[in-house]
Chain A
Amino acid sequence: EIQMTQSPSSLSASVGDRVTITCRASENIAKYLNWYQLKPGRAPRLLIYAASSLQGGVPSRFSGSGSGTDFTLIISGLQPEDCATYYCQETYSVPYNFGQGTTLEIK
């Protein structure tokens, strides 16, 4: 079973900041990694698929990178509406684990 370790678990940043969230897989998953955004009471939203491909309709301030075991989600120019919890998910093998999440607060 592949374990996904996200960091940090929470962070606080200001509007306009550049925010970096990392996700580490316990073994090589190539680019089988997606990023999602969760807000309370809303449907989860896909941000990035295959490690670095931006989902349609997602603002270009979101970007993803990495392959193998180390991955990064970057938000360049933080906006108030980015206040949410972010999850990575490996899609390489069952049980397709999610990371534990990163809660982003806007200062």
Chain B
Amino acid sequence: EVQVVESGGGLVQPGGSLRLSCEASGFTFSEYEMHWARQAPGKGLEWISYIDVSGDTTYYPESMGGRFTSSRDNAKNSLFLQMSSLRVEDTAVYYCARANYYEDKYWYLDLWGRGTRVTVSS
């Protein structure tokens, strides 16, 4: 089955760190760019990370302040999001998603996981 499954969420104190994982199956993970997005309680979706196929190029919103780092292990079909200096407002469901392309320029997120919940609280 073609899917991505997130894990690693949980309860963490403000200022703490957490590493999320996303395991891909059913497709050639190394051929796809990947993204992370999140949804805070009662809020909308927020894009938070992009990583290219090799892992050499990453993008983040400036609002993340350099606290999040995305990486991947193509040999293990896995994507990671290292989060540090966590804040209460980082409480959210975190999703990983696969990117696909149309006409080599329009990209879209065609495969999402169900997400993993992160709660930042003392």
Task: Give the residue among B35, B45, B110 with the most A Cβ atoms within 10 A.
Answer: B45
A89 touches B106 (CB 8 A): no
Mask, B78-122, CB within 8 Å of A = 1, is 000000000000000001010000110011111011110000000
Task: Give the residue among A31, A41, A87, A95 with the most B Cβ atoms within 10 A.
Answer: A95
B115 touches A94 (CB 8 A): no
State how many angstroms separate the Cβ of B57 from the closest Cβ of chain A. Answer: 12
A43 touches B61 (CB 8 A): no
- From 60 to 97 in chain A, residues with beta carbon under 8 angstroms from any chain B beta carbon are 87, 89, 91, 94-97
Main secondary structure on A side of the interface with B: loop
A10 within 8 A of B: no
Query: For residue A87, which residues in chain B have a CB less than 8 angstroms away from its CB?
Result: 44-45
Q: With A and B bound together, what is the CA distance between A43 and B95 in angstroms?
A: 8
Main secondary structure on B side of the interface with A: strand
Query: For residue A98, which residues in chain B have a CB less than 8 angstroms away from its CB?
Result: 37, 44-47
Mask, A18-60, CB within 8 Å of B = 1, is 0000000000000110101010011111100110010100000
Known: A53-B102, A98-B46. A44 touches B95 (CB 8 A): yes
Query: For residue B27, which residues in chain A have a CB less than 8 angstroms away from its CB?
Result: none
State how many angstroms separate the Cβ of B24 from the closest Cβ of chain A. Answer: 13
Find B61's partner among A31, A44, A95 (CB 8 Å cutoff).
A95
Query: For residue B37, which residues in chain A have a CB less than 8 angstroms away from its CB?
Result: 44, 98
B61 touches A94 (CB 8 A): yes
Find A96's partner among B47, B114, B115 (CB 8 Å cutoff).
B47
A89 touches B102 (CB 8 A): no
Query: For residue A45, which residues in chain B have a CB less than 8 angstroms away from its CB?
Result: 112
A3 within 8 A of B: no
Taking A31-B106, A34-B108 as known contacts, 9 extra A-B pairs with beta carbons closer than 8 A to each other, sorted by chain A number, are A34-B109, A42-B114, A44-B97, A44-B112, A46-B109, A91-B108, A96-B47, A97-B47, A98-B44
